[in-house]
Structure 1
Amino acid sequence: MNHTPEAPAAASQPTAPAADSAVPKIQIRGLTKVFGDKVVLDGIDLDIQKGESMLVIGGSGSGKSVLLKCILGLLHPEAGSIKVDGEEVVGLYGDDLERIRRKFGMLFQNAALFDSLTVWENVAFGLVQGQRMARDRARGIAYEKLAAVGLGEDVGQLTPAELSGGMRKRVGLARAIATEPEIIFFDEPTTGLDPIMGDVIDRLIVDCVKQLGATGLSITHDMASARRISDRIAMLYKGKIIWVGPTAQIDVSGNPYVEQFINGRAEGPIQMEVRAL
């Protein structure tokens, strides 16, 4: 009878260079989120430094999306602290939460474009609705951001229904950077794309984040993408972060859970529940 092992102890994080360690851009301590009887996040600690690209990996249902939603304030944790630039986010509501959210940009898994708006209106949505910017000025910025992701003004007049999957991702990225956010979240940025388009999107992500000087936090199960867009990688398993380290060290982590995941092996300490036919 197979017995699923307990989750390994949470990983201690590598010490960041002194120049970067004063105030992390995002600091998470003891973050716990529970749904009914299921503990999804179990006392997570994680620091993300200003200007770095952090990526979180883990299997389906490991809590990656829940972590993002807690940072964004879309979910409220049962316990723990989330600080952005040293300011506590947990417990903020209304105008105080919106002030923090203005630092954020988001590339959603399926782009999440508004079908009733043209492409340029989608890109400019945060400028017009969030910042109350005049439409003419917002349109100009939208076209600039579309150009930054390799799309011309003709695309700006199209509707989302007229776009290919890769174009939708690029429009989603243009919208994510339109407000020039300090922190950009990427939710499975290459899901549904072929390998070539996935590489194109990854390169655009790296270039756009670098040009903005932004901090990136991504979640994915695509290890090729993970290696291309991240400086450091953290792995979530059973609600805990079990490994954190530089991306360059992911293949020599020495952690059997990480090794099994990145190599896509069925055999190992991570046991998948498969129901026999």
Structure 2
Amino acid sequence: MSGAKIILADVAKSFGDNVVLDGVSLEVESGESLAVIGQSGTGKSVLIKCVLGLFRPERGSILVDGDEVVGASEGKLARIRKKFGMLFQGGALFDSLPVWRNVTFGLTQGRFQNSARMRAIAEENLERVGLSRDVLYLRPSELSGGMQKRVALARAIAPRPEILFFDEPTTGLDPIRADVINDLIVSLVEEAGITAVTITHDMASARKVAHRVAMLYGGRIIWQGPRDRLYDSGNPYVDQFVQGNAEGPIQ
């Protein structure tokens, strides 16, 4: 790791009277894998959308490699966004397109371009996530949930991003298929040097993929620390959440 890749300072975002983020400060080191945990509806996805420049915070600063995202022009945002890849919670594949066109969609923006080259790129990235060329011409609906996740991951890494966001990457998968996805995230960070931010409420996933874990609650980061302190945090909110207890400070 060599310096901060992403720096959030006092970031606040509301929707009407609903305060979602209320002074979030967080840093992600280059080459680090960070997991952000918290209840559903606490603003984890909103946090990522602010970093991507899709939502503009009411206050605060977001730096990506030293470039300010908040208030940036569309041209500057486009340049910053080229550093990111995203694995969406539901996969978000286009069922009308074969797998190879889904994988290369971000490279072509959906336009037809040099089909042979794009198929080769798709095959290479599918191989990186453990899928063979046999799936190139299949539709997403013909794949299992775990295979769809891997195709979505192949699409996310095809442009060779520096930073990857994972939004609940193991949701809907059985424990074995979830662990396959976790292993892929770990290998991308370790072998490709990618900086990763994973939103999850799957504690097994957080412990496996993350170097460090941060918990979002009440619009703020209330705890952060190395993954091996997750079950020994000394924070009653974290303890209740990771142990799944009904009793505790979280109502």
Q: Shorter-chain-normalised TM-score: which range?
A: over 0.9
Q: In angstroms, what is the RMSD of aligned CA positions?
A: 1.5
Deviation, structure 1 residue 140? 0.9
Aligned to 1:84: 64
Is 1:117 the counterpart of 2:72 in the alignment? no
> Alignment partner for residue 32 of structure 1, among 2, 6, 12?
12
User: Matches of 1:223 and 1:60 in 2, distance apart?
Assistant: 14
Q: Say yes or no: does 1:227 pair with 2:207.
A: yes
Structure 1 residues without counterparts, runs of 5 or longer: 1-18, 272-277
What is the TM-score with the length of structure 1 in the denominator? 0.88
- Matching residue's letter, 1:97: L
Letter of the structure 1 residue corresponding to residue 92 of structure 2: A
Which of 138, 156, 164 is the equivalent residue of 1:176? 156
CA distance in 2, matches of 1:258, 1:227: 14
Match of 1:100 in 2: 80
Deviations 1:211-261 (A, max 9, x none): 221100010000011111100000001101000101111111100000000
What is the identity percentage for the equivalent residue pairs of Structure 1 and Structure 2?
Answer: 62
Q: Contact 1:123–1:142 at 8 Å: present in 2 too?
A: yes
- Residue in structure 2 matched with residue 9 of structure 1 by the alignment: none
Partners of 2:2 and 2:31 within 8 A in 1: no
**Partner SS for 2:224:** strand
TM-score by length of 2: 0.96
For residues 222 and 39 of structure 1, what CA distance do their matches in structure 2 show?
25
In structure 1, how many angstroms separate the alpha carbons of the residues matched to 2:146 and 2:70?
A: 35
SS of corresponding position for 1:54 = strand
- 1:72 corresponds, among 41, 52, 56, to 52
**Counterparts of 2:72 and 2:118 in 1: how far apart (Å)?**
29
The secondary structure found in structure 2 opposite 1:251 is: coil
1:236 aligns with 2:211: no
Mapped contact 2:231–2:239 kept (Cα < 8 A): yes
1:41 counterpart letter in structure 2: L
SS state at 1:248 partner: helix
Partner of 1:8: none
Check if 1:268 corresponds to 2:248.
Answer: yes
CA deviation after TM superposition for structure 1 residue 138, in Å: 2.3
More displaced stretch, 30-39 vs 127-136: 127-136
Where structure 2 has 5 or more consecutive residues not aligned to the other structure, the ranges are none
3-state secondary structure, aligned to 1:202: helix
Asked if structure 2 preserves the Cα contact closer than 8 Å seen for 1:173 and 1:205, the reply is: no
- Post-superposition offset of 1:130: 8.6
1:129 CA displacement:
2.1
User: Is 1:252 the equivalent of 2:232?
Assistant: yes
Aligned pairs, number:
251
Query: Residues 259 and 171 from structure 1, CA distance in 2 versus in 1: closer, same or farther, beyond 3 angstroms?
Result: same
How many angstroms apart in 2 are the aligned matches of 1:126 and 1:226? Answer: 27
